[in-house]
Structure 1
Amino acid sequence: MKIGTRSLVFGVHQFIWHPITVYLAWVNLYGKPTWKEIVCILVHDWGYFGKPNMDGEEGLKHPELGAWLASKICGPEYHDLILGHSRFYSKINGKEISKLCWADKLSIKYDPWWLYLLRANLSGELEEYRENASISGFVKREESHRFWFKKLKELLVEQSKIEGKKYGDKLIDSSKTELNCSI
């Protein structure tokens, strides 16, 4: 089974858990999503199916399947909502980053460290993510997985709060709504 499929079945992008956390993040940033936005939340990462990597050439094209599905189910205006959830895909294709991007990134807030690391380790994603973090200088390889997760969560939560505000003034105080998922 390829890593992209493992990610959807039992990894970081697990097809039941990940959409739940993205939904919670969307509510936190923007309020309750429409049914069409919920469809987009559900299918946005389905393109990882069959991919041999997460951040390589193939994995980076993962938004295309979800975008195609959303345009068929919800209408063409939802196509770019999914394509724009990937910052890299948006950059290389001249697309705007969509508000789904920031809900997707904020979703890590609802992942307990132990559950995220368990899924990432079981699927094999953790190795790729840690290698990328080391190469970029974000977190050294010598640091623990838990330390890496803590730094990643801090970064993504902060970025999402700042960038998510650009899509509306509905930003709820996370200290009052957060699930108890302490690091």
Structure 2
Amino acid sequence: MKTLGSVGTRSLLFGVHQFLWHPFTVWLAWRELYGPPSWKETICIVLHDIGYWHKKSMNGSDGVNHPEAGAELAGRLFGEECRQLVLGHSRSYAQSYNMKPNKLCWADKLSIKYEPWWLYLPRAWMSGELMEYRGMADQTGFINKRQPHREWLSRLKEQMIEQAYEEVELAGLMSGPECRYPYSINRSSEYM
């Protein structure tokens, strides 16, 4: 797989952040949380992860700065408000620069709700992201790396979906007509 470029490039081409599918799921999540995004917000959704191009890791020293490329382009096109929207989509980036994670952050996190395991896991494996994500999950004690990938994904989805709903509700931003909170995960379906 390394012949196809860095893990960040592979993520955008066919991985977790695939340049067509991921923005679509973020758009769906935005619509659920806040109602339909404006056309400028839609462009920001499309641009928010383009900074992963050529990144050697997703969450390492270079990957953490991935919001900057999309933010620069959004800022040139639409001004400072859109630049800030793209910059604030990453919790780690926002924390590093004393910013609050914003609406795009929580739509980005909720987007995993629209990812069936049979589509997400093969993309994560092919791009090389799965090893990085599983290593981090093991290192932080989230889930042991010997547990099945589907179990890891199920727990990740539960955590990210609940956090997105909680943060949006706390901020008083929830206005989408399709918003269903509290979100309950169907635990009867094995590993979602």
TM-score range normalised by the length of the shorter chain: over 0.9
Partner of 1:87: 91
Pick one of 39, 53, 60 that aligns with 2:57: 53
The residue number in structure 2 matching 1:125 is 129
What is the aligned partner in structure 1 of residue 186 from structure 2? none
* Contact in 2 for aligned 1:28/1:174 (Cα 8 Å): no
- Is contact 2:30-2:37 (8 Å) kept? yes
Q: CA deviation at 1:173?
A: 1.7
Q: Counterpart of 1:173? A: 180
Higher relative helix content: 1
Aligned-pair CA distance for 1:167: 4.5
Does the 8 A contact of 2:12 with 2:50 survive in 1? yes
Structure 2 residue aligned with 1:179: none
* Map of 2:118 onto structure 1: 114
Aligned identity (percent) is 52
Matched to 2:148, the amino acid is S
Q: Output the amino acid matched with 2:119.
A: L
Q: 1:154 aligns with which of 154, 158, 168?
A: 158
**Secondary structure of 1:9 counterpart:** helix
| Aligned residue in 2 for 1:135 | 139
Root mean square deviation of aligned Cα: 1.5
The one-letter code of the counterpart of 1:141 is K
- For residue 41 of structure 1, what is the aligned residue in structure 2? 45
Contact 2:109 2:161 in 1 (8 A): yes
**Unmatched 5+ stretches in structure 1:** 177-181
Find the residue that maps to 2:16 and give its secondary structure: coil
Inter-CA distance 70–167: structure 2 relative to 1 (3 Å threshold) = farther
Which residue in the other structure is 1:77 paired with? 81
Of 27, 32, 46, the match for 2:31: 27
Q: Contact between 2:12 and 2:52, CA under 8 Å: does it hold in 1?
A: yes
| Aligned residue among 60, 64, 69 for 1:65 | 69
Amino acid of the residue matched to residue 173 of structure 2? G
CA distance in 1, matches of 2:102, 2:51: 17
Give the Cα–Cα distance (whole angstroms) in 1 for the partners of residues 157 and 132 of structure 2. Answer: 17
1:145 Cα deviation from its structure 2 partner: 0.3
Which residue identity does 2:61 align to in structure 1? E
Post-superposition offset of 1:8: 0.1
Q: CA deviation at 1:174?
A: 6.5
Give the TM-score of the pair, scaled to structure 2.
0.89
Q: Comparing 39-48 with 160-169, which one deviates more in the overlay?
A: 160-169
Q: Is the 8 A contact 1:106 1:157 kept in 2?
A: yes
Letter in 1 for 2:38: T
- TM-score scaled to structure 1, two decimals? 0.94
Shift of 1:169: 3.4
